[in-house]
């Protein structure tokens, strides 16, 4: 993405043509391209709609002059404009299309550039909810423009079709639902932004119909610009934005509160010191052998190990010097002198940790540690990967496994309860709910907040106990732990009774 204040990505004409082809066959009489650049969309529309009144707005005069061959161009900043009211149309009101590709830039990028090319509240007429966006320091300029458009055009029928990030499209849908804007239909078509703009973002062609009629804040999504069939529907259901409306309808009774608390793996920000390689060791990454008390060494699995199921062989260890973040580490000098020496020998790295969370804390402290860290059985899932993979992980040679901070986990003392929870999390109900709640284009699609919404007790109660026992036994058999059938029966009963 170019780091310029105009978020300047001119749409290749071939893409503009393909996008225009997806629009409803309509005789548009008014066509507006805000931020029209050199006017590639206007040029496509000039060919298909020579008789329509075409107007563009562009802030850069050279672009405006180049676009003027395809319509009337107003050289101005869109931020100073009421897009529905300030254009002096000469044609009679009729089917109106707003089309284009607003700037690809965020407010904080503009701050870095010290740019004045950004909205000011004073210039924003009649824009309910815009304050909420401009109040956030890193809002997307394209999102601002979308919201300005849907707000300013909310009193007349219009079709708005523009390229934007999928995240922007979702936020706009949510905004429209929250402000009861008259959206009657909408869709997203995924654009290969790498191919067309050499940009590593998830972008789409977002089309919104505003007008009288029944409001609908769900949008069909198409996997490609030229796809003939949608493959999903996203949107706002019961006031919430969901990633898969159909999956949410099927699973919303399980959207509640998990009876168990999800935890994040350990955070230490010092992998060179706290993580050791097995490699006939333990050894540091540089190969030096490390001799410390065994009680402080735990088999370590990273989120990628969890995702790939590389969990049967231990290749790393983590030093866990505390059993709670608040523990006084100075005591290690007498209780674990070898560990204390190792930590003090490496104090430069540990004391140099930048994050403020380490300030005013015990020296060498870590985060994400508590009784749950030492539970022998765990269910772990990577927060980074795009396919949810829950793993059941038991102790290694009697020592509980620990995880990095990109992994989320549920701790269990009892292997049967762990197997039941695993069976519940991998069943259809939880799979549907996760599909409904996770946006896979986010950096961390699976979050603690999302996992905490999966009501495992409600799923257990909706599942036949015999089938759940069978699935749990199969899970346990696949993952190793051995326990008696009676403990599985008890674990299933506990799961159904809120006390998993």
Ligand X SMILES: C[S@@+](CC[C@H](N)C(=O)[O-])C[C@H]1O[C@@H](n2cnc3c(N)ncnc32)[C@H](O)[C@@H]1O
Which residues contribute to the site for ligand X (CB under 6 A)?
6-11, 33, 35-37, 40-41, 57-60, 63, 77-79, 100-101, 103-104, 117
SS3 string, 59-100, reads CCHHHHHHHHHHCEEEECCHHHCCCCCCCCCCCCCCCEEEEE
Measured between alpha carbons, how far is 51 from 30 in angstroms, rounded to an integer? Answer: 9
CB of 442 to ligand X, least distance (A): 23
What angle in degrees, to the nearest 10, is found between the helix axes of 485-496 and 465-479?
120
* Contacts (Cβ under 8 Å, ≥6 apart) of 436: 242, 243, 244, 245, 247, 248, 251, 252, 255
Min. distance of Cβ 131 from ligand X in angstroms? 19
Q: Rounded to the nearest whole angstrom, what is the least distance from the CB of residue 146 to ligand X in the complex? A: 13
Alpha carbons within 13 angstroms on the beta-carbon side of residue 124 total 19
Q: How far is the CB of 155 from ligand X (least distance, A)?
A: 23
Q: In terms of CB distance, is 7 or 282 closer to ligand X?
A: 7
Instruction: Tell me which residue has its CB nearest to ligand X.
Output: 37
Closest CB to ligand X among residues 13, 132:
13
Helix or strand run (H / E) with residue 415: helix 415-425
Q: Which is nearer to ligand X, 5 or 209 (CB)?
A: 5
In the complex, the smallest distance separating the C-beta of residue 77 from ligand X, rounded to whole angstroms, is 4
**Cα end-to-end span (Å), the chain:** 48
By C-beta, is 83 or 436 nearer to ligand X?
Answer: 83
CB 86 to ligand X: min, Å: 13
Choice between 148 and 453, CB closer to ligand X: 148
Strand boundaries in 287-420, DSSP class E: 297-301, 316-319, 377-382, 391-393, 402-403, 407-412
Q: Which is nearer to ligand X, 29 or 66 (CB)?
A: 66
Shortest distance (Å) from residue 53 CB to ligand X: 18
Q: What are phi and psi of 106, to 5 degrees?
A: -105, 160
**Nearest approach, Cβ of 258 to ligand X (angstroms)?**
42
Contact 273, 449 (CB under 8 A): no
Q: CB pairs under 8 A, 24+ apart, for 325-330?
A: 325/361, 325/362, 325/365, 325/366, 325/367, 325/369, 325/370, 326/362, 327/362, 327/365, 328/362, 329/362, 329/363, 329/364, 329/365, 330/362, 330/363
Angstrom distance (rounded) from CA 100 to CA 98: 7
Query: Least CB distance from residue 137 to ligand X, whole Å?
Result: 19
Instruction: For the CB of residue 197, give the shortest distance to ligand X in the complex, in Å.
Output: 8
Burial of 335 (0-12, 13-18, 19+ CB in 10 A): exposed
Q: Tokens representing 356?
A: 């403020």
Q: Which is nearer to ligand X, 62 or 231 (CB)?
A: 62
CA-angle at 142, arms to 141 and 146, nearest 5°? 120
Q: What is the dihedral of CA 169, 175, 178, 183, to 10 degrees?
A: -60
Q: Which residue has the tokens 């965020």?
A: 106
Nearer to ligand X, 118 or 391 (CB): 118
Q: How many CA atoms lie within 13 A of 1 on its CB side?
A: 16
Which CB atom, from 34 or from 235, has the smaller least distance to ligand X? 34
- Kindly tell me which of 36 and 204 has the beta carbon lying closer to ligand X: 36
Which of 8/293 has CB closer to ligand X?
A: 8
> Residue 157 Cβ, how far from ligand X at the closest point, in Å?
23
Cα gap 204→226, rounded to integer Å: 12
């Amino acid at each position: 993405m170019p780091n310029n204040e105009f978020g300047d990505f001119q749409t290749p004409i071939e893409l503009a043509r393909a996008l225009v082809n997806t629009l409803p066959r309509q005789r548009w009489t008014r066509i507006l391209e805000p931020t029209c650049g050199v006017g590639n969309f206007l040029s496509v529309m000039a060919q298909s709609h020579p008789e329509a009144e075409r107007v563009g707005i562009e802030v850069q005069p050279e672009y405006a002059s180049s676009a003027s061959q395809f319509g009337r161009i107003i050289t101005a900043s869109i931020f100073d404009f009421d897009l529905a009211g300030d254009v002096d149309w000469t044609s009679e009101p009729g089917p109106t299309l707003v089309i284009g590709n607003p700037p690809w830039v965020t407010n904080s990028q503009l701050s870095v550039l010290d740019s004045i090319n950004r909205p000011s509240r004073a210039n924003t007429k009649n824009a309910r909810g815009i304050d909420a966006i401009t109040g956030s320091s890193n809002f997307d300029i394209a999102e601002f423009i979308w919201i300005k458009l849907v707000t300013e055009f909310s009193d007349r029928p219009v079709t708005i079709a523009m390229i934007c990030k999928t995240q922007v499209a979702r936020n706009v849908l949510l905004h429209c639902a929250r402000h009861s804007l008259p959206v009657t239909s909408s869709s997203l078509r995924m654009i290969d932004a790498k191919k067309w703009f050499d940009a590593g973002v998830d972008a789409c062609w977002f089309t919104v119909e505003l007008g009288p009629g029944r409001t609908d804040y769900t949008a069909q999504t198409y996997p490609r610009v030229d796809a003939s069939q949608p493959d999903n529907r996203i949107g706002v259901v019961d006031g919430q934005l969901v990633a898969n409306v159909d999956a949410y309808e099927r699973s919303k009774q399980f959207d509640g509160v998990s009876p168990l608390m999800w935890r994040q793996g350990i955070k230490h920000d010092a992998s060179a010191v706290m993580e050791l390689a097995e490699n006939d060791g333990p050894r540091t990454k540089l190969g030096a052998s490390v001799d410390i008390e065994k009680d402080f060494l735990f088999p370590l699995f990273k989120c990628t190990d969890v995702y790939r199921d590389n969990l049967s062989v231990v290749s790393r260890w983590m030093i866990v010097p505390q059993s709670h973040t608040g523990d006084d580490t100075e005591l290690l000098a007498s209780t674990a002198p070898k560990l204390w020496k190792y930590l003090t020998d490496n104090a430069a790295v540990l004391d140099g940790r930048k994050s403020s969370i380490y300030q005013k804390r015990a020296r060498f402290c870590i985060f994400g540690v508590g009784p749950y860290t030492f539970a022998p059985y765990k269910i772990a899932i990577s927060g980074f990967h795009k396919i949810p993979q829950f793993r059941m992980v038991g102790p290694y040679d009697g020592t509980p496994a620990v995880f990095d901070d990109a992994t989320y986990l549920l701790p269990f003392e009892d292997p049967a309860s762990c197997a039941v929870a695993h069976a519940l999390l991998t069943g259809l109900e939880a799979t549907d709910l996760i599909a409904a709640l996770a946006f896979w284009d986010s950096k961390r699609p699976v979050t603690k907040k999302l996992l905490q919404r999966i009501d495992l007790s409600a799923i257990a109660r909706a599942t036949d106990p015999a089938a759940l026992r069978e699935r749990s036994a199969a899970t346990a058999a696949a993952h190793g732990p051995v326990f008696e059938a009676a403990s599985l029966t008890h674990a299933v009963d506990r799961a159904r009774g809120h006390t998993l």
